[in-house]
Amino acid sequence: MNTAPYFKHTITYWTKSSISGYGKPTFAAPSTYSGRWEAKQSVRRSQTQQEIAYTHLVMTPSSVSLSIGDYLYLGTSTGANPLLVSNALEVGDIETHYNTNGAIAFYVAYVVGKK
């Protein structure tokens, strides 16, 4: 399945790189990609079987490697710290979708609002 026609939004993402000496997360430089951002509120069970209430779901191409705890932003941002970027949202869970050949086609990230 060619997902490119469906990925019309520019999305900025920050991957968590480490924890500082003060116990705060640090992030890699922001990157952008084309994806699909949908405002959709619901509750689901995460990979760790906890209920999470998510506010958006974001579809990403298979070339973008996201992890729980990373941050996403709809649009382009050059802010180094997503915790200081208004409307940057945390990835609460990730779901992998495969094509008929068994290769990863895309990911769906369930993002949660700021606490």
Average pLDDT score, the chain: 88
Would you state the pLDDT for residue 33? Answer: 94
Domain count for the chain, please give it: 1
Q: What is the pLDDT of residues 39-74, one digit of tens each?
A: 888 888 777 787 878 889 899 998 888 899 999 999
Q: Is the Cβ–Cβ distance between 91 and 82 less than 8 Å?
A: no
Q: What is the pLDDT of residues 17-30, one digit of tens each?
A: 988 889 888 999 99
We report the CATH number of the domain holding residue 81 as 2.40.10
E-assigned strands of the chain? 9-14, 16-19, 25-27, 31-45, 51-61, 71-74, 89-98, 104-112
Give the domain range for residue 27. 4-112
